[in-house]
Structure 1
Amino acid sequence: MAKSLVLLGLCLWLSGCAALLFHPMKKLVATPADAGVAYEDVWLADGDPRLHGWWLPAQGEARATVYFLHGNAENISTHMHSVLWLPEQGYNVFLLDYRGYGRSEGAPELPGVIEDVRRGYHWLRARGELPVVVLGQSIGGAVAGYAMATEADKPDALVLDAAVASFPRIAREVAQRQWLTWPFAGLAAALMPADYDLDAVIGQLAGVPQLYLHSPDDGVIPPGHTQTLYALAAEPKQRHSTHGPHIATFAFPAYRGVLLDFLETLALPVK
């Protein structure tokens, strides 16, 4: 009986590998106002499903807009602290929840989430002439990077923090972490969609300033993913090794400084 339950669990795990990419949470546990940051609700109703986000206006004259795409779990309310500091530095911020996350409608699946990223980007471009800097973390980096690499109207800069280079690759690596699933690592990789892998398209961002960040202490996405992406990326590009746990980068003032220096010296002046 126990053996049958284990086999059933493995079958369910393998059949649901693609679904394991996304772990949305509907409840918003906080807003930027709780941290003393002004914000506005944004609804993208130009397509299906309806998507929700937050607009954080820059304090004073805005230099650019940072378009923030979060990781695969929870929603913008639990990821917002990565970017709440940017308005004070003169940057607008737009945070978008993918379909099924937070107040956004629908259910997440990979092609749809990439389309959500594009919709948010087009909404930003339609707002005005300010430069748009796309910042993605973890799986948010993967979908943001893929959407921008395959977008005709490229962003003014791209920042990837612990981005996933390949979905089959991360599925294999996660399976290999547990003795029970290790023998099935190859099958887990085969069941994961490979049509939207960032490492296959990252070279299409030639001319777009790119910043790659990753901590060697990351226990979720191995730093090798960023090493691969950086090696494949065209110039201009920078890479910095950070520290701390997965996507905790901007909790450290030093790495906030790295981002600001990138924006002020490489990304924005070249446009």
Structure 2
Amino acid sequence: MKWLILGALLFLQGCSSNYFLYSPNDKIVFSKDDFSHPVKDSFIRSRSGNTLHLQHHLSDNPQGLVIHFHGNRGNLSQTVEKVVWLVDEGYDVMLVDYSGYGLSNGKPTRENLALDAQTVFEISHGLAHQHKVIVATSMGGAIALDGLAKSKLERYFDLLVIDSSFDSYQNLARDVVANVPIAKWFSSRIPALVSDERSPASNIKQIVNIDTIIAHCNDDRLIPITRGKALYQVAGDNSQFWQFNGCRHARTFTDEFPNNQQRLLAHIRKNRGASLVASNTLTSP
């Protein structure tokens, strides 16, 4: 019982500054030699004032570029498996580490990470790749949406994939509190403790010129599928909701689920060079 109370108090302390949202580290879990394809590192100056580490996984004859925004924990080396498989399918993959993550410096705040994402879009939208896809996982969905809304550059990208994400920081906090029975009474204080400024739901309403997939697993125990559906409900007419069974949080498109990967790949290829068509459909495999 004591650890539950302590955990709830620590959660609330974190909520007051939003630091509970971000859990970076600088432990690199692979080397470039672990891959059969070329891997290059680059460093860019962000609008946040920090230096960001980008890692480029290169295909022999790229059909396009996939930019990945990872979740709130770890760094890009610990989430690479979610998109690196696309290199073998003919896509260059760019991995992004935000301020304070991995080899990037600075502190991870909501504003810094939004500016980091904005910078990545400003740099990448003019690259030579004819087909550009954004894949954002978990907290990465919130970060990508914030940066894309700030940049107003969505028309330069062909597809936005938001996996295992959420609609509202306050709703996310309520879900966390709901999993700690002793802390449920804190729920009424969340609006005063957690800011919903520039929430994913408010940002996605500003992003209308890009084909969008919002994906979520029924079995996600960290961010429930209701959060993904709520985000979809306020998305534009060119959005789709994909729900999957049997996968854990943020594992939707990893090698554990080749059928999910093939579905995404087929849509990426179909999307290449296609004009936006209003769909707004709810689908499942």
TM-score by length of 1: 0.91
Name the structure 1 match of 2:89: 89
CA displacement at 1:58 relative to structure 2: 2.1
Larger mean CA deviation between 221-230 and 198-207 belongs to 198-207
Matched, 1:249 2:252: yes
Stretches of structure 1 that go unaligned for 5 or more consecutive residues are none
Which residue matches 2:23? Answer: 23
Conserved in 1, the CA contact under 8 Å of 2:158 and 2:271? no
Q: Contact (CA 8 Å) 1:167, 1:189: kept in 2 or not?
A: no
Q: Does 1:165 align with 2:163?
A: no
SS of the residue 2:95 aligns to: strand
Letter of the structure 2 residue corresponding to residue 56 of structure 1: H
Mapped partners of 1:6, 1:82: distance in 2? 32
For 1:56, the equivalent position in structure 2 comes to: 57
Given that 1:209 and 1:236 are in contact with CA atoms closer than 8 Å, whether structure 2 keeps it comes out as yes
2:151 is paired with a residue whose SS is coil
% identity of equivalent residues: 27
- In structure 2, the residue matched to 1:233 is 235
1:230 Cα deviation (Å)?
Answer: 1.4
Question: In 1, distance between residues paired with 2:81 and 2:149?
Answer: 26
Query: d(CA) in 1 for partners of 2:234 and 2:43?
Result: 36
The match for 2:279 is none
Task: Give the CA deviation at 1:46.
Answer: 5.5
* 1:46-125 matched pairs, under 5 angstroms: 47=47, 48-60=49-61, 62-125=62-125
Contact 2:159 2:210 (C-alpha < 8 Å) held by counterparts = yes
Cα deviation 1:183-218 (Å, max 9, x = unaligned): 102223431121120111312222310111100100
Give per-residue Cα distances to partners, 1:145-203, cap 9 Å, x unaligned: 22223432213211000112110110011101111211102223431121120111312
Distance of 2:272 and 2:240 partners within structure 1: 10
2 CA distance for matches of 1:11 and 1:117? 31
Q: What SS does structure 1 have at the residue aligned with 2:60?
A: coil
Q: Is the 8 A contact 2:65 2:129 kept in 1?
A: no
Distance 1:199 1:77, change over 3 A: same
Instruction: Report if aligned partners of 2:46, 2:52 keep a CA contact under 8 Å in 1.
Output: no
Count of residue correspondences: 268
| CA positional deviation for 1:258 | 1.6
Measure the CA separation in 1 of the matches of 2:86 and 2:33: 14
1:238 CA displacement:
2.0
Question: SS in structure 2 opposite 1:86?
Answer: helix
Q: Which segment drifts farther, 145-154 or 168-177?
A: 145-154
Task: State the 1:32 CA deviation.
Answer: 4.9
Show structure 2 runs of 5+ residues with no match. 277-285
1:9-38 C-alpha deviation (Å, 9 max, x unpaired)? 654431211111000011111135314332
State the SS of the aligned residue for 2:236.
coil
- Aligned-partner SS, 2:78: helix
3-state secondary structure, aligned to 1:249: coil
**Distance 1:80-1:119 versus aligned 2 partners, 3 A rule:** same
Deviates more, 1:100-109 or 1:13-22: 13-22
Which amino acid in structure 1 is aligned with residue 186 of structure 2?
Answer: F
Q: Report the Cα offset of residue 269 of structure 1.
A: 2.1
Check whether the contact 2:26–2:74 (CA below 8 A) recurs between aligned residues. yes
Q: 1:58 aligns to what SS in structure 2?
A: coil
Query: Letter of the aligned partner of 2:269 in structure 1?
Result: E
In 1, the alpha carbon distance for the partners of 2:5 and 2:59 equals 53
1:261 corresponding residue in structure 2? 266
Check if 1:13 corresponds to 2:11.
yes
2:272, 2:207 → 1: CA distance?
13
